[in-house]
Amino acid sequence: MYRIVEAQRYNPQVKRLTVEAPRVARRARPGQFVMVRVDERGERIPLTIADSDAASGCVTVIFQEVGCSTAMLGALEAGDTIADVVGPLGVPSHLEGLGRVCVVGGGLGCAIAYPQAKALFGMGAHVDIVAGFRSASLIFLEEEMRAVSHKLTVCTDDGSNGCKGLVTDILKAALEETVYDAVIAIGPLVMMKFVCLTTKPYAVPTIVSMNPIMVDGTGMCGCCRVTVGGEVKFACVDGPDFDGHLVDFDEAMRRNTIYRTQEQRSLQEHICRGEERLHAQ
Amino acid sequence: MLNKSTTKTPMPEQEPALRARNFEEVAFGYTQAQAKREAERCLRCKNKPCVSGCPVGVDIPSFVGSLAEGDTAAAADVIRRANALPAVCGRVCPQETQCEQFCVRGRNGEPVAIGRLERYTADWAMEYGEDESPTDPNGVRVAVVGSGPAGLTCAGALARLGCAVTVFEAFHKPGGVLVYGIPEFRLPKAIVAREIAQLEARGVAIETNCVVGRTVTVDELLTEGYRAVFVGSGAGLPTFMGIPGENLNGVYSANEFLTRVNLMRAFEKGAQTPIQPVRRVAVVGGGNVAMDAARCALRLGAELVSIVYRRGEQEMPARAEEIHHAREEGIAFHLLVNPVSLVGDEQGWVREIVCVEMELSEPDESGRRRPVPKEGSRVTLPVDAVVMAIGSSPNPLIRQTTPDLAANRWGCLVADETTGRTAKRGVYAGGDAVTGAATVILAMGAGQAAARAIYEDVTSGRI
């Protein structure tokens, strides 16, 4: 059992948990992830490591509640326990040699991009961050991102924070002004796809972090396969970072819908069961 | 008294039509009377040809003899001395090509049902036998990577010699292929859990959720105070055919399909791991894994499940009994056909598997006749799921993080077959990680041999 030492809710869908997992914390590097199983009947869900501290033996995950399992995880508070935390999994991000980088985060992707930005900033790189959210009420990690960047632009789809626009608009303007060694884009697949289309004419290497469906996270199930440059890769052991200009995003988007019907049903059942419990109390 | 019957005492099993819709065990096992009757078929040959066919060297005539005398406890003792997982082996060993193949009774009729007798004895021991108490510790710590058949056997044998063994398992549950691969109806998970509990009672520690190669490396284990590391990490990397359409939705590796069903128990109500509801399933391959996947698909409610195999039934690597069980349950066999592409619908879901007909030519290096496509032939099957069960290779994580551990071009670790010794001091390997996908009992034989070598090397000061 893995004990939660800290829990913080950022918005109705996004939560942060810091969990005791000393072996994982000791080795975790930016770009890696853990597989989490909430309880005995739970599924194994991949979550990016948002932060880790070898000294305290803790790892932090930030996740969005989309299905039953993440909703159950979201219901946990400090002092509760998680059945299983396995990791760190995946290849750490290759950040060496990058002097000038633009990090683009979309929604929850900001949490996944944050450790990369933090590591790069710590290594002395020039880091600009473009963070996109749907509206002002959903913004999180703003101060943390500001602290690890030279320039932070937070935009929203509806302009409710005063900066209306898509991350690709901001990025395009930045690419006109600055020559970056790399763009690191993490967010919904469709956002990553359009970031890659935006950077392509500028020939800026663009790294994306894929988050496909996984069962084991160690290269065994093969369901996380992603086509990169015409070759089939397993995101869990070959990634999750890939050259975005080579990723077949349309296939990845299609594969991510495999269990959508089952997910929605299980979430609905979970909500119903929760309501039953409330009525029973 | 010798039982002169030329056939094995039948083992009762669930009716095919009934069992094809549930996950309960197919075969019920012998009663004591049936076991005694079958044991009485044994000639107790002096030269024990059956033992030569057992990779872990169970003294078969001795345990069968005890059963014939009605002394199950004595039989259990004999088995336990050589076999750490008898209830597992009694169910999933390919006995017909091992011990039973050499049985003298098999020359004129069927051999003694050694596997069924082992199963009977092991099940009896689980119910009535006593757990073995731990051996006095000798102060030697050994790490075992992987809790499948190879790792568990190695751990059990070392613990019996007094070593302090820790088994590291990547999944949340120990058992390896016994829990993620082999379905409940062939090997109930409660049986595996009980065998593992017996190893723990003998002093074996199991650390789950630890991926050696990521969470910790082999070198770190050696510096953490483990005198030796046995790598029994199996062959878990799935193989795909590399044909068009393989990434369509609804195309699974056998590993994914079986892991969702067996380990994550997607067939049970209340389990959160999803599985797609399927109507028409094609399973590509002809081994035990293909049979397991096909029979799972049927039990999940599929209407039509087909095995698609490029050779004929004679060449299928699956056990005859598994093929027989699958046929009885209504699995369709499409033999001598090989998939060339998968076709999807507009939403990207697989809808058709396109194959060519094959014919067999001269035998290849595996001894099986090599299949060659018939020019211009074409066979298509409508499907909504395809399971690729065409083999697997060892996971690369350990060799990637242990650069001085040699691997061959298939990714299999290089180790001495009879001792498990690798070229790296203190590191041993065995089972599927060395041989590529094979059988439970061969992996156990390798685990046992490595345990002997480790003990020898430790006591002689070689490591």
Tell me, what's the pLDDT at A279?
61
Residue A278 has pLDDT above 70, yes or no: no
Tell whether B210 lies on the interface with A, counting CB pairs under 8 A: yes
Contact A256, A212 (CB under 8 A): yes
Question: B210, A258: Cβ pair inside 8 Å?
Answer: no
pLDDT category of residue B318 using cuts at 50, 70 and 90: very high
Tell whether B345 lies on the interface with A, counting CB pairs under 8 A: no
Residue B450 has pLDDT above 70, yes or no: yes
Among A41, A92, A88, A83, smallest CA distance to A60 is for A88
Q: Write out residues 368-397 of B within 8 Å (CB-CB) of A.
A: 395-397
Q: How far apart are CA A157 and CA A106, in angstroms?
A: 11
Q: How far apart are CA B221 and CA B168, in angstroms?
A: 10
Q: Note if the bond before B12 is cis, omega within 30 degrees.
A: no
Which two three-digit tokens encode residue A269? 């059942």
Q: Please, how many CA atoms are within 13 Å of residue A264, restricted to the half-sphere of its CB?
A: 4
Q: Match 């990434």 to its residue by tokens.
A: B247
Tell me, what's the pLDDT at B267?
86
Instruction: With residue B359 as reference, give the H or E element that holds it.
Output: strand B350-363
Query: With contacts defined as CB-CB under 8 Å, which chain B residues touch A264?
Result: none
What is the number of CB-based contacts under 8 A between chain A and chain B? 110
Give the range among A102-106, A167-171, A260-264 with minimum mean pLDDT. Answer: A260-264
Measured in whole angstroms, the distance separating CA A257 from the mean position of its chain's CA atoms is 18
Contacts of B426-429 with CB under 8 Å at 24 or more apart are: B426/B222, B426/B227, B426/B228, B426/B229, B426/B463, B427/B218, B427/B222, B427/B228, B427/B229, B427/B231, B427/B402, B428/B154, B428/B228, B428/B229, B428/B230, B428/B231, B428/B453, B428/B454, B429/B230, B429/B231, B429/B232, B429/B405
Contact B386, B251 (CB under 8 A): yes
Question: B397, A219: Cβ pair inside 8 Å?
Answer: yes
- Chain B residue nearest residue A26, CA to CA: B215
Report the b/e string of B365-402 with b at 16+ CB within 10 A: eeeebbbeeeeeeebebebbbbbbbbbbbbbebbbebb
Tell me, what's the pLDDT at A215?
93
Residue A254, min C-alpha distance to chain B (Å): 7
Question: A43, B171: Cβ pair inside 8 Å?
Answer: no
Report the b/e string of B49-87 with b at 16+ CB within 10 A: ebbebbbbebbbbbbbbbbbeeebeebbbbbbebbbbbb
Question: B247, A251: Cβ pair inside 8 Å?
Answer: yes
Query: With contacts defined as CB-CB under 8 Å, which chain A residues touch B276?
Result: 258-259, 262
Which two three-digit tokens encode residue B404? 């001085």
Per the model's pLDDT, the better-predicted residue between B271 and B417 turns out to be B417
Tell me, what's the pLDDT at A273?
63
Q: What is the dihedral of CA B323, B324, B326, B329, to 10 degrees?
A: 170
What mean pLDDT is predicted for residues B220-228? Answer: 96
pLDDT tens for each residue of B237-284: 999 999 999 999 999 999 999 999 999 988 888 788 888 888 999 999
What mean pLDDT is predicted for residues A201-227? Answer: 95
What mean pLDDT is predicted for residues A17-21? Answer: 97
At position A154, the amino acid (one-letter code) is V
Q: How far apart are CA A256 and CA A19, in angstroms?
A: 27
Residue B255, min C-alpha distance to chain A (Å): 5
- Chain A residue nearest residue B269, CA to CA: A41
What are the φ/ψ torsions at residue B266 (nearest 5 degrees)? Answer: -60, -15
Tell me, what's the pLDDT at A180?
96
Tell whether B172 lies on the interface with A, counting CB pairs under 8 A: yes
Query: With contacts defined as CB-CB under 8 Å, which chain B residues touch A254?
Result: 249, 347-348
Mean pLDDT of chain B: 94
Tell me, what's the pLDDT at A267?
73
Q: How far apart are CA B372 and CA B362, in angstroms?
A: 10
Burial (0-12, 13-18, 19+ Cβ within 10 Å), A79: exposed
Q: Please, how many CA atoms are within 13 Å of residue A72, restricted to the half-sphere of its CB?
A: 23
What are the φ/ψ torsions at residue A270 (nearest 5 degrees)? Answer: -65, -45
- The three-state secondary structure class of A54 is coil
pLDDT tens for each residue of A63-96: 999 888 899 999 999 999 999 999 999 999 999 9
Q: At what angle do helices B288-299 and B320-329 cross, to 10 degrees?
A: 20
What are the φ/ψ torsions at residue B167 (nearest 5 degrees)? Answer: -100, 130
Contacts with B267 (C-beta within 8 Å, 6 or more apart), sequence order: B23, B261, B275, B296, B299, B300
Among B300, B298, B242, smallest CA distance to B273 is for B300
What mean pLDDT is predicted for residues B305-319? Answer: 94
Tell me the ipTM for this assembly: 0.91
Which two three-digit tokens encode residue A192? 């990553």
Query: With contacts defined as CB-CB under 8 Å, which chain B residues touch A69?
Result: 272
Q: How far apart are CA B186 and CA B342, in angstroms?
A: 30
Q: Tell which of A24, A82, A84, A221 to mutate to test the B interface (max B CBs under 10 Å).
A: A221
- Chain A residue nearest residue B243, CA to CA: A232
Q: How far apart are CA A111 and CA B348, in angstroms?
A: 31
Give the range among A1-15, B178-192, B358-372, B443-457 with minimum mean pLDDT. Answer: B358-372
Tell me, what's the pLDDT at B85?
92
- Chain B residue nearest residue A27, CA to CA: B215
Give Cα separations from B69 to A5, B43, B50, B57 (angstroms): 61, 13, 20, 22
Contact A29, A88 (CB under 8 A): yes
What mean pLDDT is predicted for residues B418-434? Answer: 96
Contact A261, A268 (CB under 8 A): no
Q: How far apart are CA A104 and CA A117, in angstroms?
A: 10
Tell whether A223 lies on the interface with B, counting CB pairs under 8 A: yes
Angle, CA of B257, B262 and B268, to the nearest 5°: 105
Question: A88, B215: Cβ pair inside 8 Å?
Answer: yes
Residue B94 has pLDDT above 80, yes or no: yes
Tell whether A22 lies on the interface with B, counting CB pairs under 8 A: no
What mean pLDDT is predicted for residues A213-239? Answer: 94
Question: A44, B238: Cβ pair inside 8 Å?
Answer: no
Q: Tell which of A33, A223, A261, A266 to mutate to test the B interface (max B CBs under 10 Å).
A: A223
Tell me, what's the pLDDT at B102?
96
Compare CB distances from B348 to A218, A222, A254 and report the shortest one's residue. Answer: A254
Question: B237, A254: Cβ pair inside 8 Å?
Answer: no
Among A17, B363, A221, smallest CA distance to A7 is for A17
Compare CB distances from B211 to A89, A232, A254 and report the shortest one's residue. Answer: A89
Which two three-digit tokens encode residue B419? 């001792």
- Chain A residue nearest residue B345, CA to CA: A254
Q: How far apart are CA A22 and CA A44, in angstroms?
A: 20
Contacts with A63 (C-beta within 8 Å, 6 or more apart), sequence order: A14, A15, A17, A47, A70, A73, A74, A108, A111
Contact B56, B441 (CB under 8 A): yes
Q: How far apart are CA A264 and CA B57, in angstroms?
A: 53
Among A15, A6, A59, smallest CA distance to A33 is for A59
Tell me, what's the pLDDT at A270?
67
Residue B173 has pLDDT above 70, yes or no: yes
E strand intervals along B107-211: 141-145, 164-168, 205-207
pLDDT tens for each residue of B148-166: 999 999 999 999 999 999 9
Instruction: With residue A45 as reference, give the H or E element that holds it.
Output: strand A45-53
Query: With contacts defined as CB-CB under 8 Å, which chain A residues touch B233?
Result: none
Tell me, what's the pLDDT at A154?
96
Query: With contacts defined as CB-CB under 8 Å, which chain B residues touch A223?
Result: 252-253, 256
pLDDT category of residue A277 using cuts at 50, 70 and 90: low
Q: How far apart are CA B177 and CA B430, in angstroms?
A: 15
pLDDT tens for each residue of A121-143: 999 999 999 999 999 999 999 99
Q: Tell which of B210, B215, B239, B249 to mutate to test the A interface (max A CBs under 10 Å).
A: B215
- Separation of first and last alpha carbons in chain B: 52
Q: How far apart are CA A234 and CA A245, in angstroms?
A: 17
Q: Write out residues 77-136 of B within 8 Å (CB-CB) of A.
A: none
Which two three-digit tokens encode residue B380? 């298509």
Residue B43 has pLDDT above 90, yes or no: yes
Contact A50, A36 (CB under 8 A): no
Quick check: pTM over 0.90?
yes
- Chain A residue nearest residue B256, CA to CA: A221
- The three-state secondary structure class of A227 is strand
Residue A272 has pLDDT above 70, yes or no: no
What mean pLDDT is predicted for residues B346-365? Answer: 93
